[in-house]
Structure 1
Amino acid sequence: MDRLDEMAIFVAVLQYGSLAEAARKLHRSPPAITRAIASLEHRFGARLVERTTRSLAPTEAGARLAEKARLLLSQYQNAVEDTAETQLSGLLRITAPVQFGRKHVAPLVMEFLAQHPDMQIEMILNDRNLDLIDEGLDLAVRIGHQEDSGKVARKVAEVTRVLVASPTYLAQHGEPKHPSELAVHQTVTGTLRTQICEWRFGPHEDDLRVRLSPRLLSNDVESQLLAVRSGQGIARLLSYQVKDDVQAGRMVRLLADFEPLPLPVQLVAQQVQQMPRKVRIFWDFAYQRLSALPQLHALDASSEQ
Structure 2
Amino acid sequence: MDRIDEFAIFVRIVEEGSLVRAARRLRRSPPAVTRALSALEDRIGTRLIDRTTRRLAPTEAGRALYERARAVVADYEAAASGAREVPVRGLLRIAAPVQFGRRHVAPLAARFLDRNAAIEIELLLNDRNVDLIDEGIDVAVRIGALADSSLTARPVGHVRRQWVASPAYLARHGVPENPSDLASHQALLGTSRGALDWSFAGRRRGAPLHLEGRFRTDDIETRLRAVRDGRGIAQFLSYQVADDLAAGRLVRLLRTFEAAALPVQLLTKGRVHRAPKVDAFLDFAAKRLSALPVLRSD
Paired AA for residue 293 in structure 2? P
For the pair 1:145 / 2:156, whether they are aligned, the reply is no
Q: CA deviation at 1:146?
A: 1.1
Q: CA deviation at 1:76?
A: 5.1
Paired AA for residue 215 in structure 2? L
Deviation per residue, 1:92-138 (Å, 9 max, x gap): 11111111100000000011011112211001111111111111111
Contact 1:77–1:276 under 8 Å retained in 2: no
TM-score, normalization by structure 2: 0.76
Change in Cα spacing, 1:203 to 1:144, as seen in structure 2 (3 Å) is: farther
Moved over 6 A (4+): 1-6, 69-74
Residue ranges of structure 1 left out of the alignment (5+ in a row)? 13-23, 36-53, 57-65, 300-305
| Residue aligning to 2:24 | none
**Worse-matched range after superposition: 83-92 or 273-282:** 83-92
| Residue aligning to 2:250 | 251
| Residue aligning to 1:50 | none
| Residue aligning to 2:42 | 31
Paired AA for residue 259 in structure 1? E
Contact 1:160–1:261 under 8 Å retained in 2: yes
Paired AA for residue 131 in structure 2? D
| Residue aligning to 1:260 | 259
Bigger radius of gyration: 1
Q: Distance in 2 between matches of 1:5 and 1:163?
A: 54
Contact 1:169–1:233 under 8 Å retained in 2: yes
Q: Distance in 2 between matches of 1:166 and 1:80?
A: 60
Contact 1:90–1:119 under 8 Å retained in 2: yes
Paired AA for residue 273 in structure 1? V
Specify the SS of the correspondent of 1:121: strand
Deviation per residue, 1:67-114 (Å, 9 max, x gap): 9x9998876554344458765322111111111100000000011011
Contact 2:71–2:274 under 8 Å retained in 1: no
Q: Distance in 2 between matches of 1:199 and 1:238?
A: 13
Specify the SS of the correspondent of 1:289: helix
Contact 1:96–1:140 under 8 Å retained in 2: yes
Residue ranges of structure 2 left out of the alignment (5+ in a row)? 12-33, 47-58, 62-66
Let me know the Cα RMSD of the aligned residues.
3.2
| Residue aligning to 1:294 | 293
Paired AA for residue 291 in structure 1? S
Q: Distance in 1 between matches of 2:257 and 2:80?
A: 53
Deviation per residue, 1:233-252 (Å, 9 max, x gap): 10010000001111111111
Contact 1:144–1:263 under 8 Å retained in 2: yes
Q: Distance in 2 between matches of 1:70 and 1:210?
A: 47
Paired AA for residue 113 in structure 2? L
For the pair 1:173 / 2:173, whether they are aligned, the reply is yes
Q: CA deviation at 1:223?
A: 0.8
Alignment of 1:75-114 (within 5 A): 78-83=78-83, 87-114=87-114
For the pair 1:220 / 2:231, whether they are aligned, the reply is no
Q: CA deviation at 1:142?
A: 1.1
Contact 1:74–1:273 under 8 Å retained in 2: no
Paired AA for residue 104 in structure 2? H
Change in Cα spacing, 1:87 to 1:192, as seen in structure 2 (3 Å) is: closer
Q: CA deviation at 1:215?
A: 2.6
| Residue aligning to 1:160 | 160
Q: Distance in 1 between matches of 2:119 and 2:71?
A: 27
Contact 1:183–1:211 under 8 Å retained in 2: no
Contact 1:240–1:295 under 8 Å retained in 2: yes
Q: Distance in 2 between matches of 1:209 and 1:295?
A: 26
Paired AA for residue 161 in structure 1? R
Contact 2:151–2:268 under 8 Å retained in 1: yes
Deviation per residue, 1:135-190 (Å, 9 max, x gap): 11111111111111111111111000000011111000000000111122111111
What number of residue pairs does the alignment pair up?
256
Q: Distance in 2 between matches of 1:203 and 1:111?
A: 43
Q: Distance in 2 between matches of 1:77 and 1:225?
A: 47
Q: Distance in 2 between matches of 1:190 and 1:211?
A: 13
Change in Cα spacing, 1:55 to 1:106, as seen in structure 2 (3 Å) is: closer
| Residue aligning to 1:126 | 126
Alignment of 1:174-193 (within 5 A): 174-193=174-193
| Residue aligning to 2:274 | 275
Change in Cα spacing, 1:84 to 1:257, as seen in structure 2 (3 Å) is: closer
